[in-house]
Chains A and B, each alone.
Chain A
């Protein structure tokens, strides 16, 4: 039984359990199953498509099965027909589903049918703090940034220059 425990991602302080990464697809599949059973779960962000709101391997999301009609600005988790799991933001609701875009992107994807969406993000762990509706940055990206898709490239260029590309 020695060395029996392994831990992925973050762990509480003072413990000596090893960390390792696992296959994201398999893990998200399990998380999706749990949300379908009514659980709320968390996942570390992987990828840069939600930058500058959420940063790769720094921030996390908390999500659950959608329990209300989805609307513009919502961050949602969905699975593409090729099996890939994606977490982006709803840009527009149409009859056939949703047009979706990452906070770092300018090209819309869609319409994504409702049945492909399995998670609604309820909170994010950003810069070491859990935030949700009511937080300035949460509201900014949900209501303002989503309306600035065409202006994003020049704004992001300035942002990258100011932050040194981080």
Chain B
């Protein structure tokens, strides 16, 4: 999995936000606001982790049952893919 485009992660008013910069800012005007879990997943994606590693990281950092975490992770990855922010294998 690979993040498409150039984004900077920042904390803004209690939210984790992705701000498009450089050429990516020409395509996406605005920013993406994420909850803490999504922000954590994005940082792991940016660090080059794969799905299994991200799932393990989510289970380690948040109180969530594995099946639910896996379903929600897949849903989020699909959403990011549909929005054009993520290349899926």
Q: Which residues of A pack against B, CB within 8 Å?
A: 1-2, 4-12, 14-17, 19-20, 22-23, 26-27, 30-31, 33-34, 39-44, 60, 62, 123, 125, 130
Contact = CB atoms under 8 A, between A and B. Distances in A.
Contacts of A26: 12-13
25 contacts: A1-B37, A1-B75, A1-B76, A2-B75, A4-B38, A5-B33, A7-B30, A7-B32, A10-B30, A11-B30, A12-B83, A14-B82, A15-B79, A17-B83, A22-B12, A22-B33, A26-B12, A34-B19, A40-B22, A40-B25, A41-B25, A42-B20, A44-B29, A62-B26, A130-B26
B76 A60 contact: no
Contacts, number: 103
B79 A5 contact: yes
The B interface, classified by DSSP as helix, strand, loop or mixed, is mixed
A5 B13 contact: no
Given A5-B79, A22-B13, A27-B12, A12 B29 contact: no
Contacts of A5: 32-34, 38, 76, 79-80, 83
A11 B25 CA distance: 11
A44 B27 CA distance: 12
B76 A62 contact: no
Nearest to B84: A12
B52 interface: no
A9 B72 CA distance: 25
Contacts of B88: none
Given A1-B38, A14-B82, A34 B8 contact: yes
